[in-house]
Amino acid sequence: MNVTFYKYQGTGNDFIMIDNRELFFDADNYALIAKLCERRMGIGADGLILLQNREGYDFEMVYYNADGRPGSMCGNGGRCTVQFARQLNVIQEKAFFLAADGDHYATIDSQGQVSLKMNDVVQVETGTDYYFLNTGSPHYVQFVDALDQFNVFAEGKLIRYNDRFKAEGTNVNFAQLQPEPQLFVRTYERGVEDETFSCGTGVTATALAASYQGATSPVSIRTLGGNLQVAFEATATGFTNIYLIGPAQYVFTGTITV
Ligand SMILES: N[C@H](CCC[C@H](N)C(=O)O)C(=O)O
């Protein structure tokens, strides 16, 4: 079978996008998805996304981590799927779509920046040296010094595989407050099991955590793959009106025989 795919990236978090409106691609073939995401034997990506029809929505986003397993919400992938839906003429500059964590609204501005509304965060666990919250995916957030030199892979892996998290996994974000942009974030991603250049739900979680350390909305964030913004309002126990804003870019298209 020939599979036509589109490669997209959002601040360096890269995805294989497949137009599956006709359901030609077997969404349960996790081994094939892992193979396509593999960087030496396949196309190479941090994740794979199927764009599908869904009644009552412009489209549905079906997201898989690079290991082939169905993921939870992916913020950069969500922004890329919105841009992909526009390339396919499924939407113009506004979208209402379904993802793993529920409904999402998004808009694309004239600069190509995609603003994605994230689900409300109802609670934030605050530990002695960490925050733990769910922004569509689970995120552990720790503030550190000298983040440029920090071993994100080794330290992130230790937390992701500790007794608390090893069964379900968690994404692990390390962050540093700085003058401009306000925040620098690096993320070890579950399901990729490595540091990625950027993680949208992770940047969102870290911006919310940073508000307890004095950061104010909108928070500007630097990742290894570019800059993002997160806007939000605090509630009694969490946050509402959360937006993840940044670029989402088409890279190339191709066909692979599987
Ligand atoms: N890169 C994604 C996160 C994927 C979440 C996934 N790694 C998981 O929780 O299993 C993002 O931009 O939000």
The interface predicted TM-score (ipTM) is 0.93
Instruction: Say if residue 55 is exposed, middle or buried (CB neighbours under 10 Å; 0-12, 13-18, 19+).
Output: exposed
- Ligand 1 neighbourhood includes 201 CB (under 6 angstroms): yes
Residue 173, helix vs strand vs coil? strand
pLDDT score at 245:
98
pLDDT score at 71:
82
Is 199 known to be catalytic?
yes
pLDDT score at 146:
98
Radius of gyration of the chain from Cα atoms? 17
Residues of the chain whose pLDDT is less than 70?
Answer: none
The DSSP symbol for 227 reads E
Q: Which domains does the chain have, with CATH numbers?
A: 2-118+247-257 (3.10.310.10), 124-242 (3.10.310.10)
For residue 258, give the nearest of 81, 60, 18 by alpha carbon. Answer: 18
201 alpha carbon – ligand 1 mean position (Å): 6
23 alpha carbon – ligand 1 mean position (Å): 24
pLDDT score at 76:
98
pTM of the model as a whole: 0.97
- Ligand 1 neighbourhood includes 204 CB (under 6 angstroms): no
Closest residue by CA, ligand 1 atom 4? 74
- Ligand 1 neighbourhood includes 191 CB (under 6 angstroms): yes
4 Cβ contact list (under 8 Å, min separation 6): 18, 19, 253, 254, 255
Place of tokens 């191709």: 254
Is 37 known to be catalytic?
no
pLDDT score at 103:
98
Instruction: Measure Cα distances from 216 to 174, 199, 211, 247, 254 in Å.
Output: 19, 20, 6, 21, 42
Which phi and psi angles does 161 have, rounded to 5°? -105, 20
Instruction: Render the burial of 84-123: b for 16+ CB within 10 Å, e for the rest.
Output: bbbeeebbeeebebbbbbeebebbbeeeeebbbbbbebee
Closest residue by CA, ligand 1 atom 3? 74
Q: Which of 18, 62, 74, 121 is catalytic?
A: 74
Place of tokens 């925050």: 131
